[in-house]
Structure 1
Amino acid sequence: MIKIPDAILSASGVALLFLLPLAASANTLSVPGDAVVAFQVIDDLDLAEEGGRRDDILLRPVSGHEGATHELPDYCVVVGDARQDGDRLRITAKALTCVETEGGDSDIYNGEMSAAAYEADGSYGLAVCETGGCQLPSDRVFHLKLASPLAIEEQDNPSAQINEQRRQADGAGVANPIPAERTAPDND
């Protein structure tokens, strides 16, 4: 039986304690439940029939808009549904994917959300419908009000791992080995 000195056990225990909080404190994209974020549809939305519905529409956040209380990263896509309800277009958001970049690093967030569209004056739904349908142009800004807090953990980023391998010094990276010294094929 091999005996391990108590000092080594204590040091390894302390090291383990320092590592645990780091693994548990991954980056989180957080927005409170009462947040209001400015958005636009990515493509013009045209519901040509009365009472029409369109699922899986794409929305993008707009920065610096009056009335918004919070902002999402610039590179976000939100998936939602739209349906006509009388003279209003009701939009509900159900999922989002965001990429937040800083220098050469990027963080990816992907998850569910619950939010609904409001006019800038705070009225529920968008006043873009007339008899026969609704038209929402892609340059019109509206607000999404979150129904519950948003807290999405950062996802693994396979591209960052590949790029890290490429950056390893002296060509030791798996994806970026140093080429062997050979004569050029034209020099034979």
Structure 2
Amino acid sequence: MIKTHATVLMAAMLAMPTLAMSDTLELPADATVDVQVIDVLTLSEQAPERNDLIIHPVADGDASHALPEYCVLIGDASLEGERIRLTTQSLTCIETDGSESEIYSGEVSAAAYDSDGDFGLAACQDGNCRLTPEQTFQLRLASDLAIEQQDNPAAKINEQRRQAEGEGVANPIPAQAPDPDGD
């Protein structure tokens, strides 16, 4: 009986979308994630490209996977006919669990696909192409993503502080200065 429950639990865990687990942030090729731009993106014939675009993941969409809540992706956008072609090059994510945090930073190859399944976003009207921070779209990974956890200097400092506090060397609380009015 216990073995059956453990098997069911393990199968359920394996069926969940992959997120940051232990030392590696992993997503499979063709995984989709829901994202939004941070600032308004406007492209036109006069300004058909924008580099170093900042994008962040959003939850509760219909993507196949999710990225950690605290994550930014850097990408480029270009105008291609009546579509915005958007691709990414890098990401940095921080996965938190209580007071602990893990940092992942590396390269990612993903592109925006519209709801019609075509590459690029149909976001053009009357020659102006625009994405706002309220518009959610999906990025599809071109290849497997596997980024190793980075060193987290803040975590090391916090660990040292916790050890010092455990030894009675906590940050001292300054004594209250005497009230000059005698109150």
Indicate the TM-score class for this superposition, using the shorter chain for normalisation. Answer: 0.7 to 0.9
Shift of residue 62, structure 1, vs aligned partner: 1.3
Q: 1:134 aligns with which of 129, 135, 149?
A: 129
Structure 2 partner of 1:28: 24
| 1:51/1:157 CA distance change after superposition, 3 Å | same
Summarize the alignment of residues 1-188 of structure 1 with structure 2, pairs less than 5 Å apart.
27-50=23-46, 52-66=48-62, 68-168=63-163, 169-172=166-169, 176=170
**TM-aligned CA distance change 1:125 to 1:85, over 3 Å:** same
| 1:124-157 deviation per Cα after TM superposition (whole angstroms, max 9, x unaligned) | 1000123533111111111100001000000000
Contact 2:42-2:130 at 8 Å conserved across structures: yes
Which structure 2 residue ranges, 5 or more long, are not aligned? 1-20
Partner Cα distance (1:185, 1:69) in 2: 59
Call closer, same or farther: CA 1:165–1:53 in 2, change over 3 Å.
same
- TM-score, normalising length from structure 2? 0.78
Secondary structure at 2:93 match in 1: strand
Taking a change above 3 Å as real, the CA distance of residues 104 and 74 of structure 1, as seen in their structure-2 partners, is same
Counterpart residue type for residue 71 of structure 1: A
**TM-score normalised to structure 1 length:** 0.76
Please tell me the residue identity of whatever aligns with 2:60: G
| Code of the aligned partner of 1:29 | L
Structure 1 residues 186 and 143 mapped into 2: Cα distance closer, same or farther (>3 Å)?
A: same
Q: Which deviations, in whole Å up to 9, do the C-alpha atoms of 1:19-73 show, x marking residues without a partner?
A: xxxxxx961000001101111101111124356100000111111202x101001
In 1, the alpha carbon distance for the partners of 2:23 and 2:80 equals 39
> Which residue does the alignment assign to 1:4?
none
Count of residues in correspondence between the two structures = 157
Paired residues of 1:51 and 1:86 also in contact (CA < 8 A):
no
Q: Is the 8 A contact 1:52 1:83 kept in 2?
A: yes
Decide whether the 8 Å contact of 2:44 with 2:79 is kept in 1. Answer: no
Which amino acid letter does the alignment assign opposite residue 139 of structure 1?
Answer: E
| CA distance in structure 1 between the partners assigned to 2:155 and 2:177 by the alignment | 35
Rg larger for:
1
Distance 1:48 1:184, change over 3 A: same
